[in-house]
A and B are shown apart, each in its own frame.
Chain A
């Protein structure tokens, strides 16, 4: 579990939109995984199991904090505009964060699982608990929205 922790944390931060909420989400996930350790089925992938726990917690409990995330990201974006040195990189990072934050949850998790975590569509669909076709269309809508916001990526 320690070995997959950095990846889990990346997913958590991506889902929740900022490191503080991401780490909270990650901690809740670890606690729930430890509590339910006997439910993990041997022979199945531990990482997929934990991603599933994480996205369920996020869906169940993360909604309350969505508004807070939005405020936090906007505030940070505002602050970084005035910062000097590495300013461009900082602004670009924040643009991605802001673009991600604008996506609906189902599109955001699809984008993260496939495009950041590198899961195949089938695996991502299993984590999310939806048909592959549904995941595919969420992914496309999420990508189109991101490309629209970020300027087509080229």
Chain B
């Protein structure tokens, strides 16, 4: 049985799988020359890795980071909140844990696109229409389908104690807070990022909303239970 140089290299890189991997492994075991070549491949990889690794530790030149920093937006809500309020933050704070669990995926994705944030639109004084209000009243983050027309991004309480919900839909996205009249739109944006959650990554509009949520929220996002309880009480 023959083995090509390509296959041997792929084997050394862990790229060969299944039955063929076992076959090659047996051949390599039985043939010192093949074993030597595999070892040489791995040694070369180690040598190259070690050669270039120090670059990762070097301080980045200013001219590379400057264009990014000027456009970057802080999307870590809780960190920003902690900076603004004297309340001590530590890792044991259950509120932070809740927030982290809830907003973590969004934040992680937002970091990757942090520099892609467009500037936000203006606030709106309008109230949500019947259709949107129905979604805001009833739809829980934990229960919504991955392809819901309008998705609730998260729920939180603002400094006035009102319940607010950030939403994202095919036609519009925004943040609405429940006052005595109904769901008042505090911010309106363009069409949200409509993708099924499976492949979702926070996009421009959603990330933009998150930055505004950061400004409005008095604390962490509501977790699943808190959101359900708020819904139970009619969001007031």
Residues of A within 8 A of B (CB): 1-3, 5-7, 9-10, 13-14, 19, 23, 26-27, 30-31, 34, 37, 40, 42-43, 46, 93, 96-97, 111-112, 114-116, 120-121, 133, 136-137, 139-140, 143-144, 146-147, 150, 152-154
Task: Please tell me if B85 contacts chain A, counting CB pairs below 8 Å.
Answer: no
Give B60's nearest chain A residue, CB to CB: A5
Between-chain CB contacts (< 8 Å), 28 pairs = A1-B68, A1-B114, A5-B65, A5-B68, A6-B55, A9-B60, A9-B64, A13-B52, A23-B64, A37-B116, A40-B116, A42-B193, A43-B195, A46-B112, A46-B113, A114-B13, A115-B49, A116-B48, A116-B52, A121-B10, A133-B6, A136-B10, A140-B9, A144-B5, A147-B40, A147-B44, A150-B47, A154-B39
Instruction: Flag if B5 contacts A93 (CB, 8 Å).
Output: no
Instruction: Flag if B56 contacts A7 (CB, 8 Å).
Output: yes
Instruction: Flag if A43 contacts B201 (CB, 8 Å).
Output: yes
Task: List chain A residues, Cβ under 8 A from B13.
Answer: 114-115, 121
Task: List chain A residues, Cβ under 8 A from B20.
Answer: none
Instruction: Flag if A43 contacts B68 (CB, 8 Å).
Output: no
> CA–CA, A26 to B67, complex, Å?
12
Instruction: Flag if B112 contacts A1 (CB, 8 Å).
Output: yes
Task: List chain A residues, Cβ under 8 A from B72.
Answer: 2
The 5 A-B residue pairs with the shortest CB-CB distance, nearest first, are A153-B43, A43-B199, A10-B55, A153-B44, A6-B56
Task: Please tell me if B61 contacts chain A, counting CB pairs below 8 Å.
Answer: yes
> CA–CA, A31 to B49, complex, Å?
27
Residue among A40, A114, A143 with most chain B CB within 10 A = A143
Task: List chain A residues, Cβ under 8 A from B67.
Answer: 30-31, 34
Count, A-B residue pairs, CB within 8 A: 110
Given the interface contacts A96-B48, A152-B40, does A139 sit within 8 Å of B195 by beta carbon? no
Chain B residues 45-88 with CB under 8 Å of chain A are: 45, 47-49, 51-52, 55-56, 58, 60-61, 63-65, 67-69, 71-72
Nearest-Cβ distance from residue A35 to partner chain B, whole angstroms: 11
Task: Please tell me if B174 contacts chain A, counting CB pairs below 8 Å.
Answer: no
> CA–CA, A1 to B114, complex, Å?
8
Task: List chain B residues, Cβ under 8 A from A115.
Answer: 13, 44-45, 48-49
Task: Please tell me if B148 contacts chain A, counting CB pairs below 8 Å.
Answer: no
Nearest-Cβ distance from residue B36 to partner chain A, whole angstroms: 8
